[in-house]
Structure 1
């Protein structure tokens, strides 16, 4: 077989000549094609018990790949084709019980169901779902990205989709269809197993690895992705072959689209009639043999790559089946002809769902190879096409998405606490609050799409995601204000009601002046532990004092503006109980001498020419050319001859680590005439490595008792007055006797970078003397640590040794017991390209001449400014392991801060009366190794018991009600998830099992009336999850066969005490006994 590829981004054309007979054209995205290159570490292979040669049984799976945002917005797709997919598919499945279809991403289906479908269509859909003709696959709102998505957001979006399906139809998805995410994460199969899936399907893995898998018949295997959870959460995995999810394209006897008789969808609206571009020639008596020959040859070619005679043959591609009538009419003829000639052709075909195919494979009872290590990141579709650029593309969108997820978590926990607050006269419209949370749930779910948070969307689709997120987040914040207002009012008093003004989080300014001499500030902690931190907000006047609710001064510091005329930065000490609300007051003082806030002292060092040279061990660490800032944990030293970082001293162990931090830029391949370009997806640098960014550096140093910071500004020769890049480094101390390892033990880096010059890709590189052997550790989706050893002999050595930084990445020197950890609040690309180095990509700007990218506006041409934040940890491995999990959650989930507007006299009365904290119900801290992953009021009305839910559903259907229950939302049921934060062996103490008594933890809110342990997305009772058992060859575990049903610890009924083993997540439905208001 001859194969060749011509790649230009995602809009690639690749040509495969099948036995020299015909040409195939892929759809608008490249899938992995065959290659003669050998895999470095192929997975799978023949185990000696393959099925005996018999007739090939091809399971034809009709489907449509419907991107929830890529080139076109969701609304444009609904109008052009998506609604028609379900309208015509339902009509055609009803006509013939042998026909099948799989529904994958729920956003389009839900929109069709709620805005388009008639009662008749809904009734028919119910019948098709119950008969198995229409099967929900994956079941999430979207087919989420696997590289840069964060695991809690993945769980959330899957839960939204699953709950809609289960509440509406009583069905629970059991199979995945991850055909398009750009690489395969180790977290995905584990999470799917925890959701109760029986099998997992993926596609986009390195072209050379897939080629080797095909040769070895190793495309199917058991994936035991979590060493901590082990065999209980392994899953049967199917990797799609080189044709991926599309059927063969252009055929030798037709200039049309091969097997797509409905042609291509037309935007913005369907054309009149049924005339679409590139509609395939109808199947006739004259050409049916030709069609059949192509299809059968392709089936036989693909069957040779698998061990069983059962073959998955996907029939569909992007935006297909919008006219299912013409599709099925032609497909029916072809299917009938092949089956009538099955004996001579050696192939039998049938329409099938994915579940029917996997069931047939499962029934072969073969033993499967076991994959226990690694993942399939990063992903390359060709030698020079490493899909590692999207780890950073559209940094602002990535930041907005993660911030919205944090706001959602805060809003969910606050609403849960509010509804169960004893003796509270609630006046807030709870339905409105739930609706605002639901809107943010959907917006957050939507952006997890593999063309959403990846930044691989068109400019207008990026705008759609940002608008949906920001609109929904603002509505949630507005609801939170109302809840806060209810919580802080004094019951039974005739006084002015408080007015929550606004969020004063990052980027928002609190106007403290003479007109508002006393400004109350609410601070809400959404984490399950007590938190000590220096809360930061921006103010317009530096002469302030910060007091607590009892009128006592607390530690605070005001630092000067970052830019002339800008706001001042106020830091004040806050000690926050878990899931609790605290109030502080900022008092304006007329005279600076009356203030108790400390003022940071500014020292400015002039700009000097950049001179990046390797660290010199002999250079003195003190003297006229050295400046340092320090706290109780670190001393950070700069060389004033270059204004660059020189070293960091870890005061805990007395070790000084020479370290340089520098902005660098890669030049990008941008001319398509010379092969693959850098684009939204692909990172392809040009030239010999990155170059130092800028010509000069200015250093400002601010010192104070609580916050010490340096501000490094980088300038170019052509604009010496306006900095291109700014990084502010901060270290913190708390007031005396309030020490905290996380506050003291992290170094904060705040960036403001961009816009870049065209065809530049900006990185921030850390260079140390650590002997790391170019080994990098990253965290798949923030869930599981992966060891990344250097991949030698790669055509693109930089790009193909880049990996996603979702939460943490680190390098370490085992012999010196030193680890450098980087934590991020949005995703980036990260690599360790030299010994002792780690670099993080911050921003990209590309202007290429790729016609496809330009035509579809899949560009990175806009002059973006990015403002990401990184936290650094530096210390021994044990201490770093202890801090990094919780520290990242502190970074990811900062306190919600809001200002209150109320009459100062009323506030003074409260102060004099020593009013209690707004939330007197203080929950106890969770163990340090247990994270409150979810606490929410989902509002779903389906019954906790599956049997009761089905009875209720059937009753509704008999009454002619086909939608979800019309009952009021269930506001009594709490969805609670607890996660053991640490992996097996990660920490000598914190990796041990943790036991929690939920009755004790929730006792301030009430007594538990009922508790039900659930699957990860809550649609299964945990003890009813009975996943398929698969045989594993050469299984190192104790048993050859085992039940895949549950989590790592046994379940007991009628108990509130649960034990979590390393990396385990437990999910519960909990109701509390009602208390009198």
Structure 2
């Protein structure tokens, strides 16, 4: 319909007309491209950190200007009328955490105006996640969740025209291969980033290889995970030098009045032409892209657009360069049209670690702020529990918008930002992230309590409200400490039964009986709370002991255990199976001739500790007879203060730069062992390396791994030395300078000391330049043995010599590293004397052939651990059993071991989103798997006729996805089918590493 006719109809009878859509790649057809010239795609953009120097709220409202003048609401307020003023103008927006907040504040008139701009392709959403997530410290589960949150908002609000076609990670500090794979599975056609190693960039510029097809999963998903990827010419994601028109920039505007003495059109055009020709010689095709914007730019949008209008007008009057308003998707589209170009597709590596100059390796943030890294992982675990139970039990009755999982979803999504979980924010911003996570978790506790109660209830009696204990890791829980009788309900978010999972509950009694859901007694063991734990928790708890016992929990279900304080040995003997705990030895310095090595063991592993040092000496796999001589100890690198002869670079939140290649040992005089504890359920070796580094090494009955619980801090500061703390395993393996790390918790990448796969490395920092992100596991191996360490949070790790493996667990420094945060990484603890971090490593020794599936299954159990809730108990065991279900499973059958239930969440009240993931790689022995949805769930039926298969971001129907096809050195890539749902049989078919995303209506059985 003609716009003038539309306007007349509106004025006459109030009909609102919707203009024809020209979004998607249709919007690119009308761009004023000039063949034979350098076509420069000007991309007006703003990069809006979801917290960094200021909190999320401060950035949105423009508060706290003493730190930074940045207000996101003013950017969006100003850009919209500028786009409306000239139909040729374009603008892209990225972070939905900000955009949705702005959108919710607007009236219907503004909604209509914005939708019109989106439908016409003039306002385009790029990336589209809740934030621009970090790629080193993030788990793939949390990445998918935060992207889904943003993409579903865009889909619901703007339909197809709101769908981003290109991924845009211009600020994260290095890039993972798994991130590229996830983007490809979400249906993106391109991926752009700005930060890559300075040597890598120089090599790519020389070879005209700044753009390529990145192979995100070469050995498993294949072409499905291939993605056109471009490294920005730079500098970083800012405009070309001399062409920044932000209010606070110092570059001259275009002064085009010939009467002015400062008339500078010729100079401005010459600058534009020179910058264009300089960049074009490093790229294939006659299309290049300029990023016209930067951090929080466009608060005065009219200045930008007025000057770009002039620059385009006067530059295009010549015959060398064609400037045009564009977007990243149109740039990708026109790159794709170059039929004569064959794109390189040899890159199967990632882009870690990132260095922007010789002595500035951004590998410190792999570990920075270990406490918030651990908290984010715990919160991801509990969020999955909360979302699952919303589906299993149905949503809670809504009153004034809650409670639900939504607050927690948004808080977790914000926490994935590249200045959040990365640990590169100011301290007050880190505190704000933690506060948001806590608020979301508290709301989800209500959801979980309601859901569990609804499934426990048999008749008219309501079960007691659940209580939650957030500090079990330091033996704090009021419910278990203050009550003689209490219940423990354990919920298992995995789609397989969990057996032999051990609970450690802080208590104040001498003896307890534990009754399983079937009424049978459970074997228990009592241990004294360690002095270190009492020191860390301070006055916040007073438990004297820990009650240890194993639990079994059905798949996607719960089990309730009843605990009663025993009043005497006679009472305890009625239930038996509390086992005695023995303190085998209090290690006192003595003559080496009198000492013997110390051993603890279960049926799977034997650990031997050296008689003189008290350090781990030997691991033996008792089933396979594999033996590994290995010493484990803690060390520290002295942080550089920038006073070296070759560089002034300091260690800081971003940068890891030690003063020496060999770390210093952390140890007391004599043996580090202070106590050895034995018992039938758990055996422990307690080690004290110093008054601020301790460790407990545990072997639980039935488990195939050793648990190493480390406590580090407060890191001493009085000597004036910054310290970066590592745990290191030195073994007798010959590993050929190779080691292996995960990529965001999924696929495994091989690493080689002082080597990069696609370019020749001149190593300038032999320690920091060999550090890689470890999100879930790192291992070394030889022909017969593999030593694997799994982590409970993201950390930096490496193998700096044959047979050695190290992980950085904590950092504290005096100086800022001068990359923007403006603060030293010097975290204070609860009592103000420095942060104490406590975490766990899980140690496995297996053959390489046996290791892969074992450590993947263990990794799944760690990041989807059971959730535990408590209630004071006034019921007898019989009354509890009569009134309440003590065990429950939401599955009628378990999923295969290789299939992980990645997502189960409400999309709407009676609509669920389900993701099933094949968690094995082909190299692990992974084979295709089929899962039927018919009769799978107990509380509801999947309405199979309603099932929709979606792409990974849950915003596109899989059958409608049409990705661009690219010519490569090995043929074509592009729109490769990845569909997994078979409606005829109601089954899901999964290949190794494939994730199937389905949405369906649920038909509840009540």
TM-score of the superposed pair, with normalisation by structure 2:
0.88
Q: What corresponds to 2:368 in structure 1? A: 393
Provide Cα deviations, 1:980-1008, integer angstroms capped at 9, x if missing partner: 11112222xxx111111111423563253
User: 2:651–2:817: 8 Å Cα contact kept in structure 1?
Assistant: no
User: 2:526–2:548: 8 Å Cα contact kept in structure 1?
Assistant: yes
User: 1:455–1:462: 8 Å Cα contact kept in structure 2?
Assistant: yes
SS at 1:390 equivalent? coil
After TM superposition, give the deviation of residue 199 of structure 1 in Å. Answer: 1.2
- Are 1:903 and 2:866 matched, yes or no? no
Provide Cα deviations, 1:87-113, integer angstroms capped at 9, x if missing partner: 100111011100000001111111111
Of 799, 805, 819, 2:768 maps to 799
After TM superposition, give the deviation of residue 973 of structure 1 in Å. Answer: 0.9
Decide whether aligned partners of structure 1 residues 753 and 996 sit closer, same or farther in structure 2, where only a CA change above 3 A counts: same
After TM superposition, give the deviation of residue 646 of structure 1 in Å. Answer: 1.3
Aligned pairs (5 A) from 1:709-748: 709-715=684-690, 723-734=691-702, 744-748=703-707
Unaligned runs of 5+ in 1: 1-50, 252-257, 265-277, 420-425, 612-618, 716-722, 735-743, 939-969
SS at 1:680 equivalent? coil
- Are 1:591 and 2:568 matched, yes or no? yes
- Are 1:1059 and 2:997 matched, yes or no? no
After TM superposition, give the deviation of residue 858 of structure 1 in Å. Answer: 5.4
Aligned pairs (5 A) from 1:523-538: 523-532=490-499, 533-538=501-506
- Are 1:283 and 2:255 matched, yes or no? yes
After TM superposition, give the deviation of residue 284 of structure 1 in Å. Answer: 3.6
Of 49, 58, 66, 1:76 maps to 58
Q: What corresponds to 2:623 in structure 1? A: 652
Q: What corresponds to 2:209 in structure 1? A: 218
User: 1:661–1:764: 8 Å Cα contact kept in structure 2?
Assistant: yes
- Are 1:95 and 2:69 matched, yes or no? no
After TM superposition, give the deviation of residue 189 of structure 1 in Å. Answer: 1.4
Decide whether aligned partners of structure 1 residues 376 and 516 sit closer, same or farther in structure 2, where only a CA change above 3 A counts: closer
- Are 1:985 and 2:957 matched, yes or no? no
Unaligned runs of 5+ in 2: 1-32, 63-70, 258-262, 535-541, 756-761, 829-833
After TM superposition, give the deviation of residue 853 of structure 1 in Å. Answer: 5.7
SS at 1:685 equivalent? coil
Of 930, 953, 975, 1:1044 maps to 975
Q: What corresponds to 1:337 in structure 2? A: 314
- d(CA) in 2 for partners of 1:1019, 1:354: 20
Q: What corresponds to 1:262 in structure 2? A: 247
User: 1:513–1:588: 8 Å Cα contact kept in structure 2?
Assistant: no
Provide Cα deviations, 1:318-369, integer angstroms capped at 9, x if missing partner: 11111101221122111111112x21xx101010111111111111122211
- d(CA) in 1 for partners of 2:481, 2:865: 29
- d(CA) in 2 for partners of 1:550, 1:1030: 60
Q: What corresponds to 1:348 in structure 2? A: 322
User: 1:679–1:860: 8 Å Cα contact kept in structure 2?
Assistant: no
Decide whether aligned partners of structure 1 residues 263 and 370 sit closer, same or farther in structure 2, where only a CA change above 3 A counts: same
Q: What corresponds to 2:710 in structure 1? A: 751
Q: What corresponds to 1:28 in structure 2? A: none
Aligned pairs (5 A) from 1:43-442: 54-80=36-62, 81-115=71-105, 117-170=106-159, 171-226=162-217, 227-249=219-241, 251=242, 259-263=244-248, 280-281=252-253, 283-285=255-257, 286-340=263-317, 342-343=318-319, 346-365=320-339, 366-419=341-394, 428-429=396-397, 435-442=403-410
- d(CA) in 2 for partners of 1:487, 1:240: 53
Aligned pairs (5 A) from 1:820-831: 820-831=787-798
- d(CA) in 1 for partners of 2:254, 2:827: 43
- d(CA) in 2 for partners of 1:852, 1:840: 24
Q: What corresponds to 1:1002 in structure 2? A: 937
Of 825, 830, 838, 1:859 maps to 825
User: 1:761–1:841: 8 Å Cα contact kept in structure 2?
Assistant: yes
Aligned pairs (5 A) from 1:6-17: none
User: 2:631–2:730: 8 Å Cα contact kept in structure 1?
Assistant: yes
Q: How many residues align?
A: 922
- d(CA) in 2 for partners of 1:928, 1:588: 38
- d(CA) in 1 for partners of 2:171, 2:905: 31
Decide whether aligned partners of structure 1 residues 137 and 480 sit closer, same or farther in structure 2, where only a CA change above 3 A counts: same
Decide whether aligned partners of structure 1 residues 631 and 431 sit closer, same or farther in structure 2, where only a CA change above 3 A counts: farther
- d(CA) in 2 for partners of 1:477, 1:575: 22
SS at 2:212 equivalent? strand
- d(CA) in 1 for partners of 2:700, 2:560: 22
SS at 2:680 equivalent? coil
Aligned pairs (5 A) from 1:878-917: 878-905=849-876, 907-911=877-881, 913=882, 916-917=885-886
User: 2:939–2:1004: 8 Å Cα contact kept in structure 1?
Assistant: no
SS at 1:64 equivalent? coil
Provide Cα deviations, 1:145-180, integer angstroms capped at 9, x if missing partner: 111111010000000000010101112211011111
After TM superposition, give the deviation of residue 729 of structure 1 in Å. Answer: 0.8
- d(CA) in 2 for partners of 1:280, 1:527: 60
- d(CA) in 2 for partners of 1:503, 1:999: 37
Provide Cα deviations, 1:10-52, integer angstroms capped at 9, x if missing partner: xxxxxxxxxxxxxxxxxxxxxxxxxxxxxxxxxxxxxxxxx99
Of 805, 808, 832, 2:799 maps to 832
User: 1:579–1:923: 8 Å Cα contact kept in structure 2?
Assistant: no
- d(CA) in 2 for partners of 1:455, 1:676: 19
SS at 2:858 equivalent? helix
Aligned pairs (5 A) from 1:500-515: 500-503=466-469, 505-507=472-474, 509-511=476-478
Provide Cα deviations, 1:403-453, integer angstroms capped at 9, x if missing partner: 11001011111121112xxxxxx9x42577965311111111111111111
TM-score of the superposed pair, with normalisation by structure 1:
0.82
User: 1:1015–1:1022: 8 Å Cα contact kept in structure 2?
Assistant: yes
Q: What corresponds to 1:775 in structure 2? A: 738
- d(CA) in 2 for partners of 1:900, 1:818: 46
- d(CA) in 2 for partners of 1:1011, 1:404: 30
After TM superposition, give the deviation of residue 659 of structure 1 in Å. Answer: 1.1
SS at 1:745 equivalent? coil
After TM superposition, give the deviation of residue 233 of structure 1 in Å. Answer: 2.3
Decide whether aligned partners of structure 1 residues 881 and 849 sit closer, same or farther in structure 2, where only a CA change above 3 A counts: closer
User: 1:828–1:840: 8 Å Cα contact kept in structure 2?
Assistant: yes
Q: What corresponds to 1:474 in structure 2? A: 442
SS at 2:663 equivalent? strand
After TM superposition, give the deviation of residue 658 of structure 1 in Å. Answer: 1.1
User: 1:433–1:476: 8 Å Cα contact kept in structure 2?
Assistant: no
| C-alpha RMSD of matched pairs (Å) | 2.4
Provide Cα deviations, 1:558-610, integer angstroms capped at 9, x if missing partner: 2111126654222222111111011100111111453232232123433659x
- d(CA) in 2 for partners of 1:280, 1:542: 78
SS at 1:102 equivalent? strand
Q: What corresponds to 1:956 in structure 2? A: none
After TM superposition, give the deviation of residue 510 of structure 1 in Å. Answer: 4.0
Decide whether aligned partners of structure 1 residues 522 and 215 sit closer, same or farther in structure 2, where only a CA change above 3 A counts: same
SS at 1:500 equivalent? coil
Q: What corresponds to 1:11 in structure 2? A: none
User: 2:481–2:506: 8 Å Cα contact kept in structure 1?
Assistant: no
User: 2:457–2:885: 8 Å Cα contact kept in structure 1?
Assistant: no
User: 1:185–1:375: 8 Å Cα contact kept in structure 2?
Assistant: yes
- d(CA) in 2 for partners of 1:242, 1:982: 38
User: 1:1006–1:1072: 8 Å Cα contact kept in structure 2?
Assistant: yes
Decide whether aligned partners of structure 1 residues 131 and 518 sit closer, same or farther in structure 2, where only a CA change above 3 A counts: same
- d(CA) in 2 for partners of 1:808, 1:641: 31
User: 1:502–1:898: 8 Å Cα contact kept in structure 2?
Assistant: yes
